Copies of this chain bind each other. A is one copy, B any other.
Amino acid sequence: MIDRLFETITARKAVDPASSYSAKLLAQGRNRISQKLGEEAIEAVIAATAGDTKALVGESADLLYHLCLLWVDAGITPAMVADELARREAMSGLAEKASRKE
């Protein structure tokens, strides 16, 4: 779903900021997008600790959306983050194998 989200936001980049929330936020710049990401994370934390699963689904969607906005703004692709996750999983697999041998 991240790829689709990323493509949708990339396509909105060129749209009139008056007709697209994505275009508007991208026009407001890095600090504003970062602020929104931080706010959505706070809302996800509150939904999670309150045990409100339906709200956590919604806040997760908001968080992923603003994270992808930040990637578009910073020139980061989903593939770059996927590579980093694969690198960590490989390292973590090795660490787990080592700990089983102890």
**When chains A and B are docked, how far (Å) is the Cα of A80 from the Cα of B96?**
30
| Of B2, B21, B31, B84, the contact of A49 (CB 8 Å cutoff) | B31
Mask: chain A, 7-19; 1 = CB below 8 Å from B; 0 = not: 0100000010011
The answer to the question of A26 belonging to the interface, with a C-beta cut-off of 8 Å to chain B, is no
Interface residues on A, range: 35 or more
CA distance A78 to B39 in the complex (A): 21
Q: Work out how many copies of this chain go into the complex.
A: 4
Residue of B nearest to A89 (CB): B8
26 residue pairs bridging A and B, Cβ less than 8 Å apart: A1-B2, A4-B85, A31-B46, A34-B46, A35-B43, A35-B45, A35-B46, A37-B41, A37-B45, A38-B42, A38-B46, A39-B39, A42-B45, A48-B70, A48-B74, A53-B74, A57-B80, A60-B70, A60-B84, A61-B81, A61-B85, A63-B67, A64-B67, A64-B81, A64-B85, A65-B85
